[in-house]
């Protein structure tokens, strides 16, 4: 909640910031229709998110706000908040072990992956095609719970990790239309863990600050013994965004 409040406060400053020369402020939010796949583990065998735990499609919410300026030595800044959560229910064919607890029969589970990104980037090319290069610092807080409706036991694992990631984005405007296309990559690998996300987008911006954007985004989360949690997760799907630029 504190992170959402921070983003809302920053977005609220946009009408004031627009008065500053050579400063652009943009903000937006989108509904992300995701599908979760892959595995998790904690002291036992790999547990499949779909086949074992019954996770399926879910709607997620993402908010972002950014500031771009004309001072070459200073980076532009974007903050983005993602709170990815879902719950599943399934009947296990084979027993699984998670956090030293054995589960069999009917199980229910839930996960909450809360992420706050700070992206600091420079724009070496800004013509019809715009190129951004920089660093994304992502704070990940993961919380995963499995409960046995048959045995009555439960297990919970949490992981906190900060990922410094390389950032690359490309944006191209189609002249005289307000339409643009683009893509973005954030990625890092170290000590057996890694984080990668890929986004492709197409959007339209009106002459009255408002715009819409549609795209596809995919995230890969590999954790190797982070807070006793291992993961090989993939979360991805289409999204539809409303945007605002000053």
Quote the pLDDT of residue 151: 80
Q: Is the pLDDT of residue 118 over 80?
A: yes
Sign of CA dihedral 109, 115, 61, 6: positive
pLDDT of res. 193: 92
Domain range for 12 is 2-245
Question: Range with the lowest mean pLDDT among 6-15, 26-35, 38-47, 213-222?
Answer: 6-15
Q: Which residues, other chains included, contact 62 with Cβ-Cβ below 8 Å and sequence gap of 6+?
A: 29, 30, 32, 80, 81, 82, 239
- Residue 45 and residue 65: Cα distance in Å, rounded? 40
The confidence score (pLDDT) of residue 12 equals 44
The whole-chain average pLDDT of the chain stands at: 90
In this prediction, what percent of the chain has a pLDDT beyond 70? Answer: 91
114 secondary structure, DSSP code: E
pLDDT per position as a tens digit, 53-79: 999 999 999 999 999 998 989 999 999
pLDDT-based confidence at residue 21 (cuts at 50, 70, 90): low
pTM of the predicted structure, to 2 decimals:
0.88
Percent of the chain with pLDDT over 90: 78
Of 222, 223, 26, nearest to 130 by C-alpha is 26
CA–CA separation, 149 vs 147, rounded Å? 6
pLDDT tens for each residue of 195-205: 999 999 999 99
With a cut of 90, say whether residue 7 has pLDDT above it: no
Q: How confident is the model at residue 181 (pLDDT cuts 50, 70, 90)?
A: very high
- Of 84, 88, 228, give the one whose Cα is nearest residue 149: 88
- In the predicted model, is pLDDT for residue 109 greater than 60? yes
Residues forming beta bridges with residue 130, ordered by sequence position: 126, 171
* 196 and 219 Cβ atoms separated by less than 8 Å: yes
Report how many domains make up the chain. 1
The CATH number for 171's domain is: 2.40.128
Instruction: Give the pLDDT of residue 53.
Output: 96
Give the E-state strand segments of 151-228 in sequence order. 154-173, 179-190, 193-205, 210-226
Sole residue written with tokens 């943009």: 26
pLDDT surpassing 70 at residue 48: yes
**Does the pLDDT at position 112 exceed 90?**
yes
**Does 156 score more than 90 pLDDT?**
yes
């Amino acid at each position: 909640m504190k992170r959402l409040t921070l983003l809302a406060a920053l977005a609220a400053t946009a009408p004031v910031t627009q008065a500053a020369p050579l400063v652009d402020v943009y903000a937006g939010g989108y509904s992300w229709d995701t599908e979760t796949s892959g595995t998790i583990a904690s002291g036992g065998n790999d547990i499949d998110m779909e086949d074992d735990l019954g996770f399926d499609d879910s709607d997620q919410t993402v908010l972002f706000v950014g500031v771009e300026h004309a001072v070459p030595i200073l980076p532009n800044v974007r903050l983005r908040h993602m709170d990815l959560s879902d719950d599943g229910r399934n009947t296990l064919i084979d027993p699984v072990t998670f956090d030293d607890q054995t589960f069999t029969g009917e199980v229910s589970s839930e996960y909450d992956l809360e992420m706050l990104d700070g992206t600091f980037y420079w724009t070496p090319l800004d013509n019809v095609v715009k190129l951004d290069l920089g660093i994304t610092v992502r704070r990940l807080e993961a919380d995963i719970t499995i409960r046995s409706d048959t045995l009555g036991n439960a297990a919970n694992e949490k992981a906190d990790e900060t990922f410094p990631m390389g950032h690359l984005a490309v944006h191209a405007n189609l002249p005289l239309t307000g339409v643009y296309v683009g893509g973005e990559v954030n990625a890092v690998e170290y000590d057996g863990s890694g984080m990668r996300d890929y986004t492709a987008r197409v959007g339209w911006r009106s002459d009255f600050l408002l715009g819409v954007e549609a795209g596809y985004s995919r995230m890969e989360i590999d954790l190797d013994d982070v807070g006793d949690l291992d993961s090989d997760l993939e979360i991805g799907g289409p999204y539809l965004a409303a945007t605002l630029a000053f």
